[in-house]
Chains A and B, each alone.
Chain A
Amino acid sequence: MNFNKFKYSILTLLAATVLMACNNDDMQMEEMAVATCNDGIMNGDEEGTDCGGSACEPCADSTAPDFTGTFAQADHMGRPGINTTLSFDMDGMPSVKDAHNVTIPSEMTATFQAGFQARLEQYHDVYANKLGLDPMDVNYENNILGLDAATLTTVLAADALDVAPDAPTTYFDPGTDADNDGNILVPDGDEVALTGRALQDDVIDVSLILFFGGMNGDRFSGQDLDNDGMADLPRLTSDGVALTATINSDFPYVSAPE
């Protein structure tokens, strides 16, 4: 190679290097200059696509909780067992149980009370038939609270659980008669009941007593009327079972899973 040719080569090489360097600079400057936050491309000093870095909004943390949106009601519960035991499908209301879960409480009595009362009477008819009696002769009788069928089902149809902020909690305590007036839970201002629901409360027996127990709570309690050692009336005021889960004295009160 002669000197001229060598010089030319060097110059070319240098020029190319400079050009390339310029190009690199150009590219970087261009990227910095067009720090685009809405082109769907992760460019510039963006930390994610169109977010983060010096120019764009911070990127959303993909593990951050999302509290947005609208949530539509799927299920409802106030008192235990109400929808289960008293809702039933009727002509013109084919999905009462589902409807109950998506009805606001302020509209429940108007919507469900009549059906609840019919269901309560139907249960009595079932047992009239099983006892071989005329269903017309076996009807709901006012219960231990003194409530007739219409009043009881009016109370229960509005499915909310009462809880007293300033009174001891008892779902129902038929033994309370503080003034010894002989009235068990006839409202005279001294009794405490319907003030919440504790984990230990036997809510099924309470419901059964209110539905089938009559004025003294024991109308259908498996009585042996002729003393032959066999029950002559059905046992409808207790399902016979007691608490089996372990309840602790400290929060969260219910024991570890089995």
Chain B
Amino acid sequence: MSKSKLIMGISVLAIAGALLIAADHLDAPSSGGTTADIADFFAFEPTLGSDNTTFVVDLQSSVLPDLAYGSFDEDVLTEINIDTDGDLVEDYVIQAYPQNGTMYFFAGVPVQTGLNSQILADSPLGEVVISGSTAIVAEGMNGTKLFAGPRQDPFFFDFFQFNAVINPDVNSAPMGFKTAAEAEDTFDGANTMSIVVEIPNSMVGTTSTTNALGIPVYKTWVTTNRKQ
């Protein structure tokens, strides 16, 4: 995307009064654009039939100018929450906390649930030196794989057209999104600060809850938490 197009897009947004980006980039005024802004969250089997689950958390994004991007904030704890009994309260947490160029990981049953968290300092999972552009990967407990550093932002979305689509002005994108030939991925070329953890399911434990199709699942969400 050319810079002038980007600036034009931003000024259109300013007029529309809405600056919205999915997946979770800039999703809300208080967190948007800060070092604690969650950009994205992924959870998947690394290979078909694997006994591990991979979690990818992206913080910050360079998708728009003037956003926080480039280093992890040492006051921000990232927490992957896992509910295994369907009450939407975390039963197991994986924490990532950056200090002095290293990302420290912890995992276990949370000391407290809800909006305030403490680091599970007595349950270390491992640590990895925060990468530059070349990935440094470390192995933690039980074969856990750990990574933290800048990566491409894998999210793809025609963000400017989305804002035109939801604009109630009858002349704004009356025919909706663009065709594949015309649409542009706003995130093409954007980077993000990524935390990647691959953990054996046996560490998380079994689950007694299911998805809408009756398949047993972990219910997961990620939070960022700022030191008080």
Contact = CB atoms under 8 A, between A and B. Distances in A.
Nearest to B152: A245
B10 to A, nearest CB: 17
B207 A165 contact: yes
A160 B204 CA distance: 16
A239 B157 CA distance: 7
Interface in A197-233: 197-200, 202-204, 207-208, 220, 222, 231
A194 B56 contact: no
A240 B100 contact: no
A87 B227 CA distance: 27
A170 to B, nearest CB: 9
A67 B119 contact: yes
Nearest to B21: A84
B134 A165 contact: no
> Which secondary structure characterizes the binding site on chain A?
loop
B189 A258 contact: yes
A102 B215 contact: no
Interface stretch (A20-28, A39-47, A124-132): A124-132
Interface in B149-203: 150-158, 161-162, 165-168, 170, 172-185, 187-191, 194, 196, 198, 201
A53 B44 CA distance: 52
A161 B116 contact: no
Nearest to B159: A239
> Which secondary structure characterizes the binding site on chain B?
loop
A197 B216 contact: no
B137 A168 contact: no
Interface string A104-132: 11101000000000000001001101110
A178 B59 CA distance: 38
Contacts of B34: 74
B23 A80 contact: yes
Interface residues of B, number: 111
Nearest to A107: B88
B72 interface: no
Contact of A76 (B187, B191, B194, B223): B223
B71 interface: no
Given A197-B42, A236-B165, A246-B152, A72 B217 contact: no
Contact of A254 (B168, B196, B224): B196
Given A71-B227, A159-B221, A241-B184, 17 more contacts: A63-B100, A65-B100, A70-B116, A70-B117, A71-B225, A98-B29, A161-B221, A163-B43, A192-B213, A204-B156, A235-B175, A239-B178, A240-B178, A241-B180, A252-B147, A253-B196, A256-B152
25 contacts: A63-B100, A69-B227, A71-B116, A73-B117, A74-B225, A75-B24, A78-B41, A95-B28, A97-B28, A101-B28, A102-B115, A105-B89, A162-B218, A162-B220, A165-B51, A196-B53, A196-B217, A197-B42, A197-B43, A198-B44, A236-B165, A242-B180, A244-B185, A252-B145, A258-B191
